[in-house]
A and B are shown apart, each in its own frame.
Chain A
């Protein structure tokens, strides 16, 4: 009687499932950054140039008269780096722009949150607020709308 080995060779189907599970655990399902805003913001989408104008302070008020409130993320990481790469500006350049506007009285510094969860909470509770988070975190927040949903994550 042959001894049946308890070790069975891995079939291709099992291997494929294992790879997919690994990828799912290793990074977010979407791997993308979303631009989000408080639901009071009177637009449903915007392009990169408009986004840059908002974050640079060129546009200070929405069409409904609400002040544009920029919410930035302080923690350095893929989400923040990806967002500023999409804007075409380094975060240091954006900081320089904000400080100059503050010094000349032409604008305020953005609100800065330590985590994405805090940023979402700030946007959900602040009229006119706009910011950016991982797209995976945007669902289940009725106070928030997504304006851009496919900014790729940079490595």
Chain B
């Protein structure tokens, strides 16, 4: 369910608002099956966005803040970047399955003639028992584009995801603390062609840089033990969107 609207600010500017209540986008609920496409959680997502639009003719500026709250199966294959799951927690109980998540975000978009900038940052906070697991995530992107023609635009984009986890209840030893950091950096270049108002083709090349750092702090070892894992690969993606 969604409520949305526009409040005019003068003759050209406006305030946008939206509030929604519905299924959480928690589609990776089964660790063995991977993405299932079905929200199997018994939770709802509530959230909203408040923004302002300035229209100066050939230049537009949009600013907004957003918030959302839901519960996710974050420890059962629902896609945390650091890779922590229920097996990593000695005193795992079912209350940790549906992890409350609060997301706070801000967005900025600027349109000047044929050029545009669109960006957003989101901070996610997880309500896990922090004596066991302290987890937070930051996500952001910025896209800079230009319309070469009425139907063709090109863009460059940069996506980042940072995740930090501190696990203080390692199954092997309750005195051991596991600290993990994962970052995902994805610079992208692409092009988009609109055949008409309803059919859009897109092609992009993304360079994926995934880095994981893990530190094990235990009284049984002299000094922290560190490990790292890096993955780098390139993705070519082609797609067509059809809007009905």
Interface residues of A (CB under 8 A from B): 49, 52-53, 58, 72, 74, 76, 88, 90-93, 95-96, 98-99, 102, 104-106, 109-110, 112
Can you list, as one digit per residue, whether each of B1-28 has a CB less than 8 Å from chain A (1) or not (0)?
Answer: 0101010100110100010000000000
Q: Kindly state the separation between the CA atoms of A151 and B60 in the bound complex, as whole angstroms.
A: 23
Closest 3 CB pairs of A and B: A49-B11, A58-B6, A88-B57
What is the CB-to-nearest-CB distance from B157 to chain A, in angstroms, rounded to a whole number?
15
Inter-chain CB contacts under 8 Å: number: 48
Which chain A residue has the least Cβ–Cβ distance from B152? Answer: A92
Contact for B194 among A53, A90, A95, A106, CB less than 8 A: A95
What's the tally of chain B residues with a CB closer than 8 Å to chain A?
26
Whether A92 pairs with B197 at a CB distance below 8 angstroms is no
Which chain A residue has the least Cβ–Cβ distance from B57? Answer: A88
Q: Kindly state the separation between the CA atoms of A49 and B55 in the bound complex, as whole angstroms.
A: 10
A52 — which chain B residues lie within 8 A by C-beta?
A: 12, 55
Which chain A residue has the least Cβ–Cβ distance from B7? Answer: A58
B221 within 8 Å of A (CB atoms): no
A93 — which chain B residues lie within 8 A by C-beta?
A: 60, 111
Known: A72-B197, A88-B57, A110-B197. A99 touches B150 (CB 8 A): no
Interface residues of B (CB under 8 A from A): 2, 4, 6, 8, 11-12, 14, 18, 55, 57-58, 60, 111, 113-114, 116, 147, 150-151, 153, 194, 196-198, 200, 243
Q: Kindly state the separation between the CA atoms of A111 and B200 in the bound complex, as whole angstroms.
A: 16
Q: Kindly state the separation between the CA atoms of A95 and B55 in the bound complex, as whole angstroms.
A: 17
What is the CB-to-nearest-CB distance from A128 to chain B, in angstroms, rounded to a whole number?
18
Q: Kindly state the separation between the CA atoms of A109 and B242 in the bound complex, as whole angstroms.
A: 12
Q: Kindly state the separation between the CA atoms of A74 and B2 in the bound complex, as whole angstroms.
A: 31
29 residue pairs A–B, Cβ–Cβ below 8 Å: A52-B55, A53-B8, A58-B14, A74-B197, A76-B150, A88-B57, A90-B113, A90-B150, A92-B114, A92-B147, A92-B150, A92-B151, A92-B153, A93-B111, A95-B194, A96-B116, A99-B197, A99-B200, A99-B243, A102-B243, A105-B2, A106-B4, A106-B18, A109-B197, A109-B198, A109-B243, A110-B197, A112-B196, A112-B197
